[in-house]
Amino acid sequence: MILIADSGSTKTDWCMVEKGGKAAQRFTTKGTNPFFQTQEEINAEIAALKPRLKGKQPEAVYFYGAGCGFPDKINTVTRILQQQLQTSFVEVNTDMLAAARGLCGHRTGIACILGTGSNSCFYDGEKIVANVSPLGFILGDEGSGAVLGKLLIGNLLKNQMTPGLKDEFLQQTGLTLAEIIEHVYRKPFPNRFLAGFSPFLAQHLHDPSVHNLILESFCEFFRRNVMQYEDYQQYKVHFTGSIAFYYQEILYAAANRMNISIGNISQSPMEGLLQYHTDH
């Protein structure tokens, strides 16, 4: 049995795979990001996973995670997984490689993530050969849930959206200006907090100011990320993540405006990862 994990900043999707490629069990836990969490926090979350395995010990663990792009972070997650799961073979890679393998398999293409955060890469069918740094939700992460939430709140509080939308937002969320500032600037995981306003955006897609906010952010994602790759117009651009999946109509409109050809759009790369690891 092998264990595959696709971990973002918000949640981690796990899948136990029996020999022959059959998915035996799937479950979800909190997101694990070594860039923002301490070793103790990661250790506690992996320890909480063990009861879900029901005594089964995986022969191999393939963990793809946000924040796993640096050697020290990879070593930290690898060590914790080995200790907690008593598994000698542990491979830790980035969530970007998960997206590339899950979306492209062994084909060349451009793979993108639009979830709580955003990212992209040029993938040659085996490895990532180019990556524009996403820079996080303060400096980058265009098109992500966190940035859409940031733009929504900023525009609402500065009265840049349709009249009446601000009062509706404050009434629906029950938040005050002071509480918003507290969450964004003082509490942990402000990216998760901001991305949590995606349902409000989804409820108001008919509103021109909301539709335009999302469209422009997606265009920025293409302009500042995808269009940086050499000969990008010769390849399909594939997407995974909740934002790409649920706002795909607007994503197609943005791609059409930028003359970019979209390929696959999936909510999660897990199905593609299952095929990749059982065929590989």
Q: pLDDT tens, 177-215?
A: 999 999 999 998 899 899 999 999 999 999 999 999 999
Q: By percentage, how much of the chain surpasses pLDDT 70?
A: 97
- Contact between residue 102 and residue 241 where contact means Cβ atoms under 8 Å apart: no
The mean pLDDT value for 87-93 works out to: 89
| pLDDT band with cut points at 50, 70 and 90 for residue 44 | confident
User: What band does 64 get if pLDDT is binned at 50, 70 and 90?
Assistant: very high
Which pLDDT score, from 0 to 100, does residue 280 have? 62
| Tokens standing for residue 230 | 């050499």
Highest-confidence range of 3-12, 23-32, 86-95, 96-105, by mean pLDDT?
Answer: 96-105
> pLDDT confidence of 20, banded at 50, 70, 90?
low
Average confidence (pLDDT) over 258-268: 95
CB atoms < 10 A from the CB of 111, how many? 28
Q: What's the rounded mean pLDDT across residues 142-148?
A: 96
pLDDT band, very low/low/confident/very high, at 223 (cuts 50, 70, 90): very high
| Pairwise pLDDT comparison (211 vs 84), residue with the higher score | 211
Amino acid at residue number 81: L
Q: Is residue 122 predicted with pLDDT exceeding 70?
A: yes
pLDDT per residue as tens digits for the range 233-261? 999 999 999 999 999 999 999 999 999 99
Instruction: Kindly list the structural domains of the chain, giving each domain's residue range(s) and its CATH number in brackets, ordered by start.
Output: 2-99+270-279 (3.30.420.40)
Which pLDDT score is estimated for 255? Answer: 98
**In the predicted structure, residue 24 carries a pLDDT above the cut 80:** no
